[in-house]
Amino acid sequence: MSSYDDLAGREGKQRGGWRYGVPEGTRHILELMIDVDAQLDWLAKIRPDYLFARGGVHITALAERAERRGTRLRFDRILSTGTAIDKSTRGAARRVFKAEIADFYGASETGLIAHQFPDCGFYHTCDETMRVEVLRPDGNPCSDGELGRTVVTPLYGYAMPLIRYEIGDYAIRGPEHAACGRPLGSLRAIVGRYRNVFHLGDGRVLTPYANANGLSAVLSFSQVQIVQVAYDQIEIRYVPASEQPPDEAAIQNFVRTAFDPSLNTVLVPVDHLPASPSGKFEETLSFVGPVEPGHPDTRPQGA
């Protein structure tokens, strides 16, 4: 369901060969940018065994709308790439589609970087085809559990060699030897692009996506995006799912508890939150960069 091809349209198109290594399979492709109801109508017509989706927001949107409409769909497995997967997304996939999610981490420039294994839960890196590093700000490698910049060196990029290529992502390093026994490096989590993390005035970095699951308990929305506009301020941009006024005090308390006590919150109701030109929807977004030594906290321009 991720083609960015006008020919796929609302009717979709068909190719021989199902993903990798199954040349006799059939692959049904639908343009991702059409609305979710049309996607569900198409899935109900095709009834595929597997669903390839564009990350957590896409899967959650499909699950919530299918549940609301009473559309019964079942998949042997849901394959996901593009944006992070959290516990609530996995729960929705199990509840609505009776399927587990297999999450893949990759980049257009390098191909597959890591994929999640069901028995240990870690993202094992593709050490046979590339070197994957997670680095601290000073360039030293991160230890297990540390957040750092993802840097990759593909081993077979003969046409365009990339050496220690920084792809613009944050990840959390996993253990050197996972309990599953596989002799591969590991990542505990893929946090997302630099623009998806929050920088505080004291130099700390927050990964808000991991902490945002509880927001639905204090705010009724059909879409939501949490945007950092200053070191001490965020906007919650949301499409209301109820006419009842939000409890701003409860939302502010949630933000300060889940994210950081220094953050102030502004609610911004909107009619629609569009995806990016690549088809990804970013749940969190920051217009604030890291604090530069010796510089005061300043509000960014253009936020």
Are 133 and 186 members of one domain?
A: yes
pLDDT, residue 11, reads: 61
Q: Confirm if 169 and 125 have CB atoms less than 8 A apart.
A: no
N- to C-terminal Cα separation, the chain: 32
Q: Of 52, 72, 99, which residue sits at a domain end?
A: 99
- Determine the structural domain holding residue 150 and report its residue range: 104-195
Q: Of 195, 224, 257, which residue sits at a domain end?
A: 195
Is residue 125 assigned to a domain?
yes
Count of CB atoms situated within 10 Å of the CB of 142:
18
pLDDT tens digits, 236-267? 999 898 888 999 999 999 999 888 899 999 99
Are 206 and 136 members of one domain?
A: no
The list of the chain residues with pLDDT below 50 reads 3-4, 295-303
CATH number of residue 235's parent domain: 3.30.300.30
Closest by CA to 211, choosing from 283, 270, 299, is: 283
Do strands 264-269 and 233-240 pair parallel, antiparallel, or not at all (unpaired)?
parallel
Cα(211)–Cα(278) distance, integer angstroms:
25
Are 134 and 157 members of one domain?
A: yes
**Is the pTM value of this prediction over 0.75?**
no
Average pLDDT, the chain: 82
The sign of the dihedral angle between the CA atoms of 103, 227, 195, 187 is negative
Written as one letter, the residue type at 44 is A
Are 201 and 190 members of one domain?
A: no
pLDDT, residue 58, reads: 82
Is residue 82 assigned to a domain?
yes
Cα(170)–Cα(4) distance, integer angstroms:
26
Is residue 2 assigned to a domain?
no
Q: How far is CA 60 from the centre of its chain?
A: 11
Are 205 and 161 members of one domain?
A: no
Instruction: Give the phi and the psi of residue 193 in degrees, each rounded to 5.
Output: -70, 160
Written as one letter, the residue type at 253 is N
Q: Of 176, 195, 214, which residue sits at a domain end?
A: 195
CA distance to 52, 104, 139, per residue, from 77 (Å) = 9, 13, 38
Q: What is the DSSP letter of 149?
A: E
Are 206 and 254 members of one domain?
A: yes
Are 166 and 127 members of one domain?
A: yes
pLDDT, residue 300, reads: 42
CA angle 187, 208, 188 (to 5 degrees): 10
The kind and range of the H/E element at 143 are none
Is residue 294 assigned to a domain?
no
The tally of domains found in the chain comes to: 3
Are 150 and 93 members of one domain?
A: no
Are 203 and 191 members of one domain?
A: no
pLDDT, residue 296, reads: 47
CATH number of residue 171's parent domain: 2.30.38.10
Is residue 207 assigned to a domain?
yes
The total number of residues written for the chain in this structure: 303
The sign of the dihedral angle between the CA atoms of 292, 297, 298, 302 is positive
pLDDT tens digits, 278-295? 556 677 888 887 766 554
Are 134 and 182 members of one domain?
A: yes
Are 256 and 180 members of one domain?
A: no
Are 41 and 122 members of one domain?
A: no
